[in-house]
Structure 1
Amino acid sequence: MKELQALLERGVADGAFPGAQACVIRDGALLFSGSAGRRSLTGPPVDEATRFDVASLTKVMATTTAVWILASGGALDLDEPAGTFFEPFAQGEKRAVTVRHLLAHTGGLPAWRPLFAKVLADPALRAIYPDAGGPEPAVLPAEVRRQSRTALFARARRSVIEEAALAPLEHEPSRVCVYSDLGFILLGELAAERAGMRLDRFCDQWIFNPLGLTSTGYRPVGTSEPGAFAATGRTRPREPARGQEGLFEIPPQRERDDAGEVDDDNCWAMGGISGNAGLFSTAVDVARWGDAIRADRAGARRLGDPAVLGTLLAPDPHPEGPPRALGFDMPSGPRSSAGTRMGEAATRGHLAFTGCSVWIDFERGLTVALLTNRVHPTRSNEAGIRLFRPAFHDAVIEALEGA
């Protein structure tokens, strides 16, 4: 598949992204693995070991998969009220919201809010941010400073979760599909509560380790584990994305590449572990996860019950909004990032704000993982990835089946 490697290199040359990886697996067989570009504008080259911030692929690879495993074992019911876990959902119109609604993005919650803004405005908690000072003088022992920072992040995490749970509904539950980061922040927390352990630890133990995904996992803020990571933004908080202008302020600071720290600001304020973002991975690992989903749907049972997985993969019957399954995205229309040749009925996957995607074509037994850092050094770099994604996926099908 030399044409796929050439496409990755062309994407870099055209400025769609500084660096990229891609992997194609069909029925368990690796058909293509390639990389192109650099980890940052002037950094080292991307290779197959470089890990990318896969952002919202966390929603499907970690949170949705965790919910599937818990539901397979009877530890969680898809129709459980969210009020079982979050007090604000135990009253008023929120009482109708269930785990199923959160998975389908039909819980009525807002798409996004700068939940971290309350942390940033708190004179004590804002000390977690770069160049914002700190709660202790540098003369104190490193372990004391580390413990203080850990305590601050724990308080910041609670603040973000509380803000997500308190957000008023914007739509009647079950009616309108509005892709919601807030819903998946809450899903991650309820999965962790039902599992009886932190979400990152559950995912390591029950998803990534069993599948041999050695390059996949959360990176709590402050993690010192070495590795090669693709850079994303250059400030904290990041610059507002399109549509977020004026919703929060970015304090004066020295711009820096913090490759290896999560790009998503709500997740960052939670210490890097959330149901909506936080995973780092490689294209090979993402494709292996997708192939495991394909195999389990066919009865392999590596992770969970195929019948429960089938429920998650089925289209949700909401009357308004784009088509979605439970936790999984579906291609929709001729402008889909999955291209024109992966059919809506047989394909499931997810996109990520940082420029990553995974699509599983169950009819073909095919998984395509594409990872990029199109948000480096600026989030305004949008046009290139929108053109590149469908062209790349069409090129995969053409390489396998011809024009």
Structure 2
Amino acid sequence: MSRAIAQFDAAFAILSASVEAGRIPGGVLGVVTADGNRMVRAVGSAQLVPERRSMREDTWFDLASLTKVLFTTERTLALAEAGHIDLDAPLTSVLPDFRQYNADNWERKVTFRHCLGHQTPFPAVFPLYTYGRDPDLLRTFVLQHEWTAGPSVYSDINFILLGLALERLEGQWIRAMDAGPGFAWSADPPDTAATEDCYWRHRVLVGEVHDDNCSALQGAGHAGLFGTADGLLDFAMGKLASAGPDALIRKPLSARRTHGWERPHEGWSGGESCSPDAIGHTGFTGTGLWIDFARGHAWTLLTNRIHPTRHFDSGIIALRRAVGDLINAD
């Protein structure tokens, strides 16, 4: 345990140095082992403008794309395990109106597994929110837009579509669904790390989703979840102890991805010293969770690196990798 504490202290020192250098306002680092040993520590500020608030160990964060793995992947795989979804069936098995005016187009051949592994030609980014703020109309736009096929890349569209399928199966929008133990779709501002001073919403975002498309859709499968370090570590502990359908989140679909998650590759966010039997994911707001099954531990690094603006080099890529390397140092 003393070795683990020393590794945690070294990793936290890197986070603290980033805060002291003004690269990020603040952060929370947490580590948990399969047998329940846990360390969580906070540094810096949860908010700088219009007023300053200190970061706490129980600060809530906009988890951004961690929503993909903590909610949408979990729910999709559970429905598959229950026989309600065939992962190798096209999305049209649940969304028959997807690109309904051309039965032969490529979009209608995209499967659930393709979306989980980001093995589709959808664009990496697409500003849905610039097409209006009517959530029903935007859902219809996603389903009927003629998407230009490109190389297979990480794309929010994959998980927006998975979210639409979940909504169709559940008969309710995602924001009406149970976010899961320890998670929520919004958070109380005094307890939450601020994100961006948003140009089009004309306010500093605190406790409401930062992601532009998720905001316009009023909930989506690619973003929108809020949580704390302890909530993430509780989730990770469950995965370290589980078997059965959870094996799919460890099963490779490509050199970089499993079902929903990333796996180690050159330059990945978890650093170079984790085992090959690790998975992880990050969020645009400055969040991340990594689970190393071979080493029997998990860690989360939560920051508000886009506060008050995303247009700044926070050094988050190097910070994540450095923290991962120290947590996993031999």
TM-score exceeds 0.5: yes
Once the two structures are TM-superposed, the CA of residue 383 in structure 1 deviates from its matched residue by 4.7
Q: 1:377 aligns with which of 300, 305, 308?
A: 308
1:1-400, aligned counterparts within 5 Å?
A: 1=5, 2-41=9-48, 42-84=51-93, 85-90=95-100, 91=103, 92-119=105-132, 156-171=134-149, 176-204=151-179, 207-208=180-181, 213=182, 216-219=183-186, 225=188, 227-237=190-200, 253=202, 256-271=203-218, 273-297=219-243, 306=244, 308-317=245-254, 323-333=256-266, 335-343=267-275, 345-398=276-329
Unaligned runs of 5+ in 2: none
Q: 8 Å contact 1:89–1:97 — kept in the other structure? A: no
Residue type of the partner of 1:395? L
Q: 1:263 to 1:190 in 2, by over 3 A?
A: same
1:195-246, Cα deviation, whole Å (9 max, x unpaired): 3443344343xx32xxxx2xx2112xxx8x56411111112437xxxxxxxx
* Cα distance in 2, alignment partners of residues 80 and 195 from structure 1: 18
Residue type of the partner of 1:291? M
How many equivalent residue pairs?
A: 317
Residue type of the partner of 1:217? A
1:23-47, Cα deviation, whole Å (9 max, x unpaired): 1011041331011110122511110
Once the two structures are TM-superposed, the CA of residue 393 in structure 1 deviates from its matched residue by 0.9
* Cα distance in 1, alignment partners of residues 96 and 304 from structure 2: 34
1:325-383, Cα deviation, whole Å (9 max, x unpaired): 111112211x221111113x301111111111111111111111111110111112235
Residue type of the partner of 2:303? T
1:128-180, Cα deviation, whole Å (9 max, x unpaired): xxxxxxxxxxxxxxxxxxxxxxxxxxxx11222222223434447xxx53111
Question: Which of 1 and 2 has greater Rg?
Answer: 1
* Cα distance in 2, alignment partners of residues 309 and 181 from structure 1: 22
Q: 8 Å contact 2:46–2:194 — kept in the other structure? A: yes
Provide TM-score, normalisation by structure 1: 0.74
Runs (4 or more) in structure 1 with deviation over 4 Å come to none
Unaligned runs of 5+ in 1: 120-124, 126-155, 239-252, 298-305
Kindly report the root-mean-square deviation, in angstroms, between the aligned alpha carbons of the 2 structures: 2.1
Identity of aligned residues (%): 32
Q: 8 Å contact 2:305–2:314 — kept in the other structure? A: no
Provide TM-score, normalisation by structure 2: 0.89
Residue type of the partner of 2:75? A
